[in-house]
Structure 1
Amino acid sequence: MSSQRLKNGVDRLAGTTQPNGRPANGAPRAPVSAREAKGETDENIFLFVPNLIGYARIVLCIASLYFMPLHPRRCSFLYSISCLMDALDGIAARKFKQSTKFGAVLDMVTDRCTTTCLLVFLATAKPQYSMIFQGLISLDLASHYMHMYATLTMGGQGESHKNVSAERSWIMNKYYTNKVVLFTFCALNELFFIALYLLCFSSPLITPALLPSAGLAGQNGTTPVTPHSPIPSLLFPSPFSAGAMEMARANKMDSTVPWILTLGSAPVMAIKQWINVLQLVKASQWLAEGDRRDRMKEKQKRQQ
């Protein structure tokens, strides 16, 4: 009450209000809305430029999923654009001063979902390696969820998951604070899986169905970089049947470029998975540290 009187006195001395609390020009003071009383604004966070970029990424990802079974070039193009736009939302957030918690979560969720969708396709296309792809999906989701939850629980509600102190983990600090390093690792990690996806449509070494028999392979001059091209058949009229998918694989592209991209990005992908393991371990240790602290406080309360 005294603080409100002091504020009114300062306003009267400044000439902005009259003794009755009205503005100096005689007009009544505008009533304070419920949002203003709670410290909220009418800004539409969902229409911020970085978030609009995030929505565009989701649309491109969904479009790439539609083309994924039969059109590897279109799928790879749309998927790659969606991944590259991941860097634009951060630039837009800093340029327009529109960094938000919603945008940060939207960005992380979009990244996890797009990678998961591609790995699910690879698991179905190569069922003999499905356990590896399932493990990569689980590691990616678990490490990022644990890291985000540990940051919010131990670091505070307003703490960003990218603020990792060097004392806690020097590698994680460099990974998250250096934008060039972060973009390079994320981009090449996605590039590896995209290239592996393209090899499923082009390389007999990855997809043996592209090389039905040694005699037919020799007759058609098939090599690991020149896939066999079978005669079109009407046995599989449905464009989404298993047979149609095999036909699409065998008639699409040369595998030279996908092999170069796969082998070139493989080391970075391996390091990225190791960072995911490290992130999972550090987040678990941080949560365990908080649990020990809470248990110690409860023990001290019982002893009092």
Structure 2
Amino acid sequence: MERGDLTREEWARLKPHLPKSGKRGGRWANHRRIINGVLYRQRTGVPWRDLPARFGKWKTVYERHRRWSADGTWDKIFAAILADADAAGRIDWSMVSVDSASCRAHQHARRSTQETPADAGKRTMPRQHRPDEGLGRSRGGLTCKIHLAGEGGQRPLALLVTPGQWGDAPQLIPVLERIRVGRLGGGRPRTRPDHLCRDKAYSSRRNRRYLRRRQIKHTIPEPKDQRAHRKRRGPHGGRPTGFDKTIYKRRNEVERTINALKNFRAVATRFDKRAYVFHGTVVVASIRLWLRA
């Protein structure tokens, strides 16, 4: 076992959730060696062609990662790992936080953009980007965003990849809707945390109505402009929002979760051209964090 490879304990927890054979009837090549190759690329950010020979053919490692990202295999493995963790009582449902992180797009990822006729044959960047590739132009250039819901133990529960210029508040509900932790003993999956904590960027009447409808307790500070607008409306502005400073101190837990994800260089900088492949990259990093727990 080399540095960064799966340990025996991690492999024992991961192996039962892996596919048994390929779609064409043949058996997959050594899963452990291939996954170690994917993790090596995640940790170092090297091009696929520069993978060490001990992982086998680079094309095999890349195609396995791409296919499992496309057909949702990584998502299914992630869901199974979460179900095991919940059955063992290792998920801290007492506090779930939501935040986002911007990831700069490497020049290798920018070729997934859509060229216009005026850009054909030029080396300049295309003017228009495909809306389904999760790339957008913001203050930092071409970026994408990872919207993340993390539990109190500083590990991911759900994630969403969007273009970099998209706001945080509109993505709160889609991220929370992706929280579905199955139960090994049967029954409905758990989708609702005990408490939600987030900063004022997620404060909106739509988000607060959604949380109240689902009976999720939340601690979200109210910005000054929203507070002033509510007071100007008088009795029609509604009641002041509740805010607990002690609970709000735990807002850093999801930020530390994002820092742990960005320790993987292939997550901190987006090298993948396609959004679904980059989503798979972030999911693999999340799986590794849970295996290390």
- Normalised to the residue count of structure 2, the TM-score between the two structures is 0.22
* Greater strand share, structure number: 2
Q: Which structure dedicates a bigger proportion of its chain to helix?
A: 1
Structure exhibiting the larger radius of gyration computed from Cα positions: 1
Output the TM-score relative to the length of structure 1.
Answer: 0.22
Which protein, 1 or 2, shows the higher relative CO under an 8 Å CA cutoff with sep ≥ 6? 2
